[in-house]
Amino acid sequence: MFKNWSKSSYLIYFIGALIISIVTLSINVINLVNIISLFGALAGFLSVVLIVNKNKYAGYVGIVSAIIYMFISWGLGNYSDTLLNILFIGFLNIPLILNKNYNENIKSKSIKDHPEYEVYLISMFIFIYIVLYAIEVIIFKAPRPVFSVLAATLGITASIATSIFVLKESFVIWGLQNVFQVVLWGITYYQTQSGIALLMLITYVLYTMNASTAFFNGKWYEKRRKIYE
């Protein structure tokens, strides 16, 4: 699981895991719920680092973190984020597990060479956004539908681009999704003053940093690596 990572990934995971642990233990009373939240945050961060490194264990770790995040999000009223993590299991984690060729040697594609993927992703984005917004407003009556639905839609689109299409551009979408999650959890923390919300905010800041490493670690953007070699 921890083999063949880029140097930047080792560094960012060590720093990120340390920050997540310190923040969790400093802002929360140590109890079972907060320990589980910490484990979920560490597993979630590990899963995205594994994805950047095209590691086959990303799907397994991702399922664990998604299940924990589902309960955290639901408890804090981010219902689209709860649904997002359910969909992550179906559109990201399970496809990664079932794809036996998914490893550091699998070649990532580009929309430039496969323009049909752009049509697929845009169409799916519009459809998913409409469906999730309807669910969020009509069923859940959620307090933050705009940001939460947009973050969720970007997450599902990025999942499909990563696990099914294996597109380089998936990390552009992940970057946008992470930024909106930072905004969402920032609003959630402002409104609830929840320590767990602050933890999620910091975790998604780290997710954004991790997504940025995909552009220069050589696993997804091979041509850039050759330029520097």
For 42-90, write each residue's pLDDT tens digit. 999 999 999 999 998 999 999 999 999 888 778 777 676 788 789 899 9
Helix (H, G, I), strand (E, B) or coil at 109: strand
Total domain count, the chain: 1
Percent above pLDDT 70 for the chain = 93
Evaluate whether residue 191 is within a structural domain: yes
Evaluate whether residue 93 is within a structural domain: yes
Evaluate whether residue 146 is within a structural domain: yes
Report whether pLDDT(159) > 90: yes
Quickly state the pLDDT bin for 170 (edges 50, 70, 90): very high
Evaluate whether residue 52 is within a structural domain: yes
Report whether pLDDT(134) > 70: yes
Range of the domain at 179: 7-228
Evaluate whether residue 2 is within a structural domain: no
Evaluate whether residue 38 is within a structural domain: yes
Evaluate whether residue 1 is within a structural domain: no
pTM equals 0.85
Question: Nearest 10 degrees: CA dihedral of 27, 29, 35, 39?
Answer: 0
Evaluate whether residue 65 is within a structural domain: yes
Contact 24, 34 (CB under 8 A): yes
Q: Find the range with the poorest average confidence among 17-21, 28-32, 111-115, 180-184.
A: 28-32
What is the number of other CB atoms lying within 10 angstroms of the CB of residue 123?
10
Q: Chain-wide mean pLDDT for the chain?
A: 86
